[in-house]
């Protein structure tokens, strides 16, 4: 009898797990349940969709019909799963019972909205689904003043999109810098100044107290001041969506997300739950930088976990998902900013004392025309000399470099290992003979002392 | 008494070693001897200098006067070192004897010219020094047909430069593909077709037999056919310049270059030579891919070795230079091509059986406008599953990715390690959610079998 594989969730994790499972066992019956109306889209693309730089059809990779016809995967959209019984191995949805041999939970995350008055007013949005994006785009037509709550990466990407649409944009942030958790103040400051030059206004160290209006938002109050607006977006982070996992009694870790084994299986009271797999924003990861858990919540992480979960759900030879440094990148107002591992702030929060190596160079040889700025910062643990984090701001070519530094971090390289073992390709039109990544690590070695 | 450090050679290796030595011991007397008239320039930049895209002043990083005034390093240009006595610890140059405490040999390489008739005719050049570049530029003014001997990276960069100058360009290559030693045929074919579309003509599998002319070159004969030209350049590879090391009796390895310890010291009859260090194109390296030696001959490798040699020459705590994968990159006719570790051809030459993983994607999400092609090939050892080489062709963003793959290779990662441990940053305007590098390794895993 064909193996029955059920996937709950249709984001990057859910659809990738379904595809990996079907690819691993082509004879399997793979079924996806999702409350969403669209599947397999990139939530990271929504800021550019709102601005109209990319079409909504473009960011939806495939339709449910495509999955059914081309991949042999059945997708039930707008279908809520009511319960899972993992001893009977059944899923109950829309009044019907579906038996499974393997189950993948990929229910993702929910945007966290601070519990403040008025958050449910009209023209107040979050950015998670294509539907959210379309609603914001429609509302933006008649809006001139936009307030964005939260100066994280998504908040800043939205700020640029709305400026490009000619709106008056104010970003309100509780902390004293933009991209507060994952970027250092000096790097974040470059991004903020660049956005200020584009006309984005910032209100820092200002917790949002209320959203005000009569039916629709007309202003936002933060740190005692009122900011008029006719459109407001909460970009205040994502929490794991644990409705089903909690009903199943699965173990939740100290970061408020599911604990998973390297094989991407969840636990119940410390024991692996047979034939159940998890992937995506609802899972906490093992950190590659220090003992303990970390939240990744990146599309790229979700897809990687999904390959493991899907492949294992299909009964292939076991695959494992390793500890993460969680590299990220964004383009904010023409500048690429990227990071991996710990920021200085996170390191300090964990009690890790770091030294900083910094280098400013170019994406080409200094004498070659057209080079763009490339600033690299590398953080090293003062005790072990291990590289524990890095950040890059550049006009171009940040992505491969942050992935390179990520490999060094997950390999446990010290700054000295990096100097002895890392190599960089060189050609005047693409790079400096000593890449700023290497120069930054060299500076870090000096800061750590001989 | 101040430590006396003498450096022989003024290329990337020599000047970087001198700078590292002076930085390491600011009280040292650092002296550089060079036969060249310019110092500290990038030979890799010469093709773009000939075309006029960059000025000759630009590619000379610093003048001898700069080194003397700003860094306290004495540079003797156009000065031949006649002999070295490493037991008396003296260097003899221009009739004078200079004592040293530490010596760095960085005499680089010489362009190899096949021993054929007519190679010494007028308007026949090699590309190594700024002087070569200026001479070629002057000769090109009155030349309309250019023949380039050798379809390696330098030969192809020159071909593009001459096409951009409106010349009729023919590249004559002994092997059956361009970039024969370090690139695979399928990747090289993409580059060759791109150049053919630009109007560059290729004559393949054609060893050059003679250069013909009366005083000046008027044609080149290869594989029995005659190709008229009024300018001819040999881009036929570089051999270690061993005049001084051989006179010193230093050990030369099986690849025809000096053997060096990880501390960048040479050997004589198997024993380290005290207080002598080496760096750059005259040294063979330890391979990070397999047991044994490899030639790197890259500017980036030279600089890295020079830091180690210079720092050790200054008596700092010992630094070491590790085994290399030798990543390289070039821009040839608008396409970036990069590689690291073994090519399929080299692997086969060494007797290593490889499988190939290939992925074709984009430098942005598929739906995001402006993405450029990104083709990645990864080679894995069929027995150990280790990644032993990789090549990239891309419209942009190849450099960081090849450095990333290089770190994986020198860490000894198998294809499976890469899938479990590597992570890629993602954002629609800069990358795909699964980077083509990861997809290529995934393909490699499948090719290697479960």
User: Model confidence over B300-356: pLDDT tens digits?
Assistant: 999 999 999 999 999 999 999 999 999 999 999 999 999 999 999 999 999 999 999
Nearest residue, CB atoms, A433 vs list B42, B328, B437: B42
Residues A254 and A300 in one domain: yes
What's the pLDDT score for residue A158? 97
The average pLDDT across A425-433 equals 95
- Domains in chain B, number: 3
Most distant CA pair in chain A, distance:
69
Q: Which residues of B237-273 are buried (b: 16+ CB within 10 A; e: fewer)?
A: bbbbbbebbeebebebbebebbbbbeebbbbeeeeeb
Are B389 and B340 a contacting pair, CB within 8 Å?
yes
Q: What is the 3-state secondary structure (H, E, C) of chain A?
A: CCCEEEEECCCHHHHHHHHHHHHHCCCCEEEEECCCCCCCECHHHHHHHHHCCCCHHHHECCCHHHHHHHHCEEEECCCCEEEEECCCCEEEECCEEEECCEEEECCCEEECCCCCCCCCCECEEECCCHHHHHHHHHHHCCCCEEEEECCCHHHHHHHHHHHHCCCEEEEECCCCCCCCCCCCHHHHHHHHHHHHHCCCEEECCCCEEEEEEECEEEEEEECCEEEECCEEEECCCEEECCHHHHHCCCCECCCCCECECCCCCEEECCEECCCEEECCCCECEEECCCCCEECCCCHHHHHHHHHHHHHHHCCCCCCCCCCECCCEEEEECCEEEEEEECCHHHHHHHCCCEEEEEEEEECCCCCCCCCCEEEEEEEEECCCCEEEEEEEEECCCCHHHHHHHHHHHHCCCEHHHHHHHCCCCCCCCCCCCCCHHHHHHHHHHHHHCC
Q: Mean pLDDT over all residues of chain A?
A: 96
Are B174 and B207 a contacting pair, CB within 8 Å?
yes
Element (H, E) at B411: none
Query: Residues B92-111: pLDDT tens digits?
Result: 999 999 999 999 999 999 99
* Strand order across the beta sheet in which A145-149 lies: A124-126, A231-234, A145-149, A168-172, A201-203
End-to-end CA distance of chain A: 65
Query: Residues A226-243: pLDDT tens digits?
Result: 999 999 999 999 999 999
What's the pLDDT score for residue B431? 95
For residue B286, the chain A residues in CB contact (below 8 A) are none
For residue B435, the chain A residues in CB contact (below 8 A) are 300, 399, 403
Q: Is the pLDDT of residue A326 over 80?
A: yes
Q: Is the pLDDT of residue B400 over 80?
A: yes
Q: Is the pLDDT of residue B137 over 90?
A: yes
To the nearest whole Å, the CA of B9 is away from the closest chain A CA by 18
Dig out the tokens for A242 from the structure: 């644990």
Nearest residue, CB atoms, B425 vs list A53, A402, A421: A402
Q: CA nearest B10: which of B133, B110, B134, B108?
A: B108
Q: How many CB atoms lie within 10 A of CB B432?
A: 26
The average pLDDT across B347-369 equals 95
Q: Dihedral sign, CA of B147, B148, B149, B151?
A: negative
Q: Is the pLDDT of residue B61 over 90?
A: no
Residue B323 forms part of a structural domain: no
Residues A117 and A196 in one domain: yes
Yes or no, beta carbons of A410 and B421 under 8 Å apart: yes
To the nearest whole Å, the CA of A119 is away from the closest chain B CA by 29
Q: Is the pLDDT of residue B450 over 80?
A: no
Residue A346 forms part of a structural domain: yes
Yes or no, beta carbons of A410 and B433 under 8 Å apart: no
Report residue B24: phi and psi, to 5°.
-70, -35
Nearest residue, CB atoms, B45 vs list A300, A338, A428: A428
Dig out the tokens for B435 from the structure: 């980077």
B384: helix, strand or coil:
coil
Residues B210 and B132 in one domain: yes
What's the pLDDT score for residue B42? 83
Confidence of residue B358 (pLDDT cuts 50, 70, 90): very high
Dig out the tokens for B29 from the structure: 């007397």
Nearest CA in chain A to B318: A450
Dig out the tokens for A249 from the structure: 């009694």
Residues A218 and A125 in one domain: yes
To the nearest whole Å, the CA of B80 is away from the closest chain A CA by 27
* Nearest-angstrom CA–CA distance, A357 and B250: 38
* Nearest-angstrom CA–CA distance, B241 and B280: 10
Place of tokens 């930085």: B23
DSSP B152-214: SHHHHHHHHHHHHTT-EEEEE-SSSSSSTTTS-HHHHHHHHHHHHHTT-EEE-S--EEEEEEE
Query: Residues A123-162: pLDDT tens digits?
Result: 999 999 999 999 999 999 999 999 999 999 999 999 999 9
Residue A247 forms part of a structural domain: yes
Yes or no, beta carbons of A329 and B42 under 8 Å apart: no
| Number of residues in chain A | 450
* Nearest-angstrom CA–CA distance, B216 and B123: 6
Nearest CA in chain A to B404: A404
Give A174's contacts (C-beta < 8 A, 6+ positions apart).
A205, A206, A207, A208
Nearest residue, CB atoms, B407 vs list A322, A422, A429: A422
Query: Residues A206-219: pLDDT tens digits?
Result: 999 999 999 999 99
What's the pLDDT score for residue B60? 83
Dig out the tokens for A28 from the structure: 């399997």
Burial of A113 (0-12, 13-18, 19+ CB in 10 A): middle
Yes or no, beta carbons of A300 and B424 under 8 Å apart: yes
Residues A363 and A282 in one domain: no
Yes or no, beta carbons of A338 and B425 under 8 Å apart: yes
Yes or no, beta carbons of A410 and B403 under 8 Å apart: no
Domain ends where: A236, A267, A284?
A236
| Partners of residue A201 on adjacent β-strands | A170
| Local structure of residue B45 (DSSP, 8 states) | G
Yes or no, beta carbons of B321 and A420 under 8 Å apart: yes
What's the pLDDT score for residue B41? 81
Pairing type for strands B145-149 and B168-172 reads parallel
What's the pLDDT score for residue A450? 67
Yes or no, beta carbons of B304 and A48 under 8 Å apart: no
To the nearest whole Å, the CA of A406 is away from the closest chain B CA by 7
Yes or no, beta carbons of B325 and A59 under 8 Å apart: no
Domain ends where: B281, B313, B345?
B313
Confidence of residue A41 (pLDDT cuts 50, 70, 90): confident
Chain A interface test: which of B23, B400, B436 (most A C-beta within 10 Å): B400
Confidence of residue B157 (pLDDT cuts 50, 70, 90): very high
To the nearest whole Å, the CA of B330 is away from the closest chain A CA by 6
Q: CA nearest B12: which of B239, B281, B263, B402?
A: B281
Residues A167 and A192 in one domain: yes
In order of A116, A119, A175, A204, the CA distances from A224 in angstroms are: 14, 17, 16, 12
* Nearest-angstrom CA–CA distance, B386 and B418: 10
DSSP B261-320: -TTS-BEETTEEPTTEEE-STTB-EEBSSSSSEE----HHHHHHHHHHHHHHHTTPSP--
Residue A406 forms part of a structural domain: yes
| Partners of residue A328 on adjacent β-strands | A339
Residues A185 and A199 in one domain: yes
Residue A167 forms part of a structural domain: yes
Yes or no, beta carbons of B55 and A420 under 8 Å apart: no
Q: How many CB atoms lie within 10 A of CB B345?
A: 17
Q: How many CB atoms lie within 10 A of CB B102?
A: 25
Residue A429 forms part of a structural domain: yes
For residue B330, the chain A residues in CB contact (below 8 A) are 427, 430
Residue A117 forms part of a structural domain: yes
Report residue A271: phi and psi, to 5°.
-115, 140
| Partners of residue A148 on adjacent β-strands | A171, A233
Domain that holds residue A363: 328-448
To the nearest whole Å, the CA of A305 is away from the closest chain B CA by 9
For residue B320, the chain A residues in CB contact (below 8 A) are 420
B134: helix, strand or coil:
helix
Q: How many CB atoms lie within 10 A of CB B80?
A: 13
Domain ends where: A202, A221, A236?
A236
Are A431 and A424 a contacting pair, CB within 8 Å?
yes
| Local structure of residue B433 (DSSP, 8 states) | S
Of the residues A44, A229, A285, A445, only one is catalytic, namely A44
pTM here is 0.95
Count CB pairs under 8 A between chains A and B.
Answer: 240
Dig out the tokens for A330 from the structure: 């964004």
Residue B404 forms part of a structural domain: yes
**CATH number of residue A12's parent domain:** 3.50.50.60
Q: Which residues of B393-426 are buried (b: 16+ CB within 10 A; e: fewer)?
A: bbebbbbbbbbbbbbbbbbebbbbbbbbbbbbbb
Element (H, E) at B403: helix B399-410
Query: Residues A381-425: pLDDT tens digits?
Result: 999 999 999 999 999 999 999 999 999 999 999 999 999 999 999
Nearest CA in chain A to B287: A421
Are A150 and A236 a contacting pair, CB within 8 Å?
yes
Q: Which residues of A397-414 are buried (b: 16+ CB within 10 A; e: fewer)?
A: bbbbbbbbbbbbbbbebb
Q: CA nearest B132: which of B239, B204, B190, B45?
A: B45
Residues B214 and B285 in one domain: no
For residue A44, the chain B residues in CB contact (below 8 A) are 426-428
Burial of A170 (0-12, 13-18, 19+ CB in 10 A): buried
For residue A54, the chain B residues in CB contact (below 8 A) are 367-369, 428
Residues B433 and B334 in one domain: yes
Can you say whether residue B304 is alpha, beta or left, with left for phi > 0 and alpha for psi between -120 and 50 degrees?
A: alpha
Q: CA nearest A433: which of B58, B235, B45?
A: B45
Q: Which residues of B179-192 are buried (b: 16+ CB within 10 A; e: fewer)?
A: bbebbbbebbebbb
Per the annotation, the verdict on A427 as an active-site residue is: no
The residues of B that are catalytic are 44
Residues A130 and A169 in one domain: yes
Give B376's contacts (C-beta < 8 A, 6+ positions apart).
B358, B359, B360, B361, B390, B391, B392, B401, B436, B437, B439, B440
Query: Residues B250-302: pLDDT tens digits?
Result: 999 999 999 999 999 999 999 999 999 999 999 999 999 998 999 999 999 99
């Amino acid at each position: 009898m064909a193996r029955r594989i059920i996937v709950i969730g249709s984001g990057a994790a859910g659809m990738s797990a379904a595809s990996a499972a079907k690819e691993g066992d082509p004879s399997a019956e793979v079924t996806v349940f999702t409350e969403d109306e669209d599947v397999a889209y990139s939530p990271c693309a929504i800021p550019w969709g709102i601005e109209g730089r990319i079409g909504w059809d473009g960011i939806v990779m495939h339709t449910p019909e495509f999955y059914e016809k081309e991949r042999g995967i059945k997708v039930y959209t707008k279908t809520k799963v009511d319960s899972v019984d993992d001893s009977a191995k059944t899923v109950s949805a829309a009044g019907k019972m579906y038996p499974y041999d393997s189950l993948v939970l990929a229910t993702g995350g929910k945007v966290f909205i601070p519990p403040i008055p008025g958050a449910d007013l009209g023209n107040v949005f979050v950015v998670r689904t294509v539907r959210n994006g379309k609603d914001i785009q429609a509302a933006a037509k008649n809006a001139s003043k936009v307030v964005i709550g939260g100066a994280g990466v998504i908040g800043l990407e939205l700020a640029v999109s709305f400026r490009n649409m000619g709106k008056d944009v104010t970003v309100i942030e509780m902390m004293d810098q933009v991209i507060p958790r994952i970027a250092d103040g000096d790097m974040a400051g470059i991004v903020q100044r660049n956005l200020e030059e584009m006309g984005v206004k910032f209100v820092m160290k200002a917790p949002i107290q209320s959203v005000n209006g009569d039916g629709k938002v007309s202003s936002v109050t933060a740190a005692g001041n009122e900011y008029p607006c006719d459109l407001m977006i909460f970009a205040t982070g994502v929490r794991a969506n644990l409705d089903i996992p909690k009903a199943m009694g699965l173990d939740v870790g100290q970061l408020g997300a599911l604990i998973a084994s390297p094989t991407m299986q969840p636990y119940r009271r410390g024991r692996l739950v047979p034939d159940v797999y998890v992937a995506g924003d609802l899972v906490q990861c093992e950190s590659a930088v220090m003992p303990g858990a970390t939240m990744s919540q990146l599309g790229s992480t979700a897809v990687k976990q999904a390959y493991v979960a899907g492949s294992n759900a299909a009964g292939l030879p076991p695959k494992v998902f390793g500890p993460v440094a969680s590299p990220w990148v964004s383009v904010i107002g023409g500048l690429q900013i990227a990071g991996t591992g710990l920021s200085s702030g996170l390191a300090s929060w964990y009690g890790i004392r770091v030294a900083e190596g910094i280098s400013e160079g170019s994406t080409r040889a200094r004498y070659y025309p057209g080079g763009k700025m490339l600033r690299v910062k590398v953080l090293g643990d003062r005790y072990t000399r291990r590289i524990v984090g890095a950040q890059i701001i550049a006009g171009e070519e940040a992505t491969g470099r942050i992935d390179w530094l990520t490999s060094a971090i997950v390999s446990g390289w010290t700054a000295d290992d990096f100097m002895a073992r890392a190599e960089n390709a060189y050609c005047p039109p693409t790079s400096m003979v000593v890449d700023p990544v290497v120069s930054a690590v060299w500076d870090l070695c000096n800061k750590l002392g001989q």
